[in-house]
Every structure is written in C-alpha cells, then in structure tokens.
C-alpha cells in the first residue's frame, strides 16, 4: 500500500464551522490541486473545488449537514465519498483525506487522484 503524504493547507481557524473556502494543496507529481475545505459538525472535509456538473466552484457553495451544496444548480455532494446526493450532477467529485493536528489542516493527494479540473475554463482565454 502506498503511503500518502499529508501537506499543510490551512490553519484550523481559517475553516470555521459551517464555512467552505478555496485552498490549494501541493499534490506532488500531480502538481498544485485546487480544493474546497468545508467544516461540518466539527469535521473538516476536502474535495476538488470543481463541481462535476458544469464546473462551478464548490467553494462558492454552502455547507449542509448532508454534504457540500453547489450553488449553481443545487447538487449536494457527500463529504465522505463525493457522490452526488441530489441532481443534476451524476458523477462524484474527488475527495481527499484530511487530518487536523495542532490547529493545522493537512490534506493528502494520493497518486492518480488529481481531478480533471475546469474543463471549459482551461480552453477559454481571458480577454
């Protein structure tokens, strides 16, 4: 079994109860990975920041007791496995292992766990 390396992402105070925010984690060979950190019922969860429906940012969504809600069309993603609990999304978002130690939030990006990222934005130039 491959060891996953946990990397520092944020101070615990940056992710208070009921809040979701965007952060970046060094994914090693996978490069930098954009994630949404959300705290629900005291536990911090990490997911890809891109909704699998139409790439809206999950960090702009809302923490619910069932999962992370995408504010664009209302899909809710289970914190544990990233599965969509409600439509329109049909595919899970990538979730990442999280630990909290000494007031620090640490996230691991297992090899091969890099999400596809923003499909359309990647091909659209700005300006």
Any contact of residue 51 with ligand FES (CB under 6 A)? Answer: yes
CB proximity list for 54: less than 8 A, separation 6 or greater: 72, 73
Lookup result for tokens 């990222």: 117
Q: Over the Cα atoms of the chain, what is R_g? A: 14
Any contact of residue 73 with ligand FES (CB under 6 A)? Answer: yes
Task: Render the burial of 49-70: b for 16+ CB within 10 Å, e for the rest.
Answer: bbbbbebbbbbebebeeebbbb
Q: Which of 4, 72, 85, 113 binds ligand FES (CB under 6 A)?
A: 72
Any contact of residue 53 with ligand FES (CB under 6 A)? Answer: yes
Q: Which of 30, 54, 85, 113 binds ligand FES (CB under 6 A)?
A: 54
Any contact of residue 116 with ligand FES (CB under 6 A)? Answer: no
Rounded CA-CA distance 78/90 in Å is 12
State which H helix or E strand residue 48 sits in: strand 43-48
Least CB distance to ligand FES at residue 87 (A): 8
Q: Specify the stretch interacting with ligand FES by CB under 6 A; choose among 2-10, 28-36, 39-47, 50-58.
A: 50-58
Q: With respect to ligand FES, which residue has the nearer C-beta, 30 or 72?
A: 72
Rounded CA-CA distance 13/16 in Å is 6
Any contact of residue 38 with ligand FES (CB under 6 A)? Answer: no
**Positions that interact with ligand FES (CB under 6 A):** 51, 53-54, 56, 70, 72-73, 75, 88-89
């Amino acid at each position: 079994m491959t060891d996953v390396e946990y990397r520092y992402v944020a101070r615990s105070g940056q992710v208070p109860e009921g809040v979701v925010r965007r952060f970046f984690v060094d994914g090693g060979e996978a490069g930098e990975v954009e994630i949404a950190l959300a705290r629900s019922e005291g536990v911090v969860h990490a997911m890809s920041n891109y909704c699998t429906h139409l790439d809206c940012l999950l960090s702009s969504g809302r923490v619910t007791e069932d999962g992370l809600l995408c504010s664009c069309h209302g899909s809710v993603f289970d914190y544990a496995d990233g599965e969509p609990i409600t439509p329109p999304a049909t595919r899970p978002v990538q979730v990442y292992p999280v630990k909290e130690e000494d007031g620090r939030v640490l996230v691991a990006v297992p090899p091969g766990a890099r999400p596809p990222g923003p499909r359309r934005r990647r091909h659209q130039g700005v300006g």
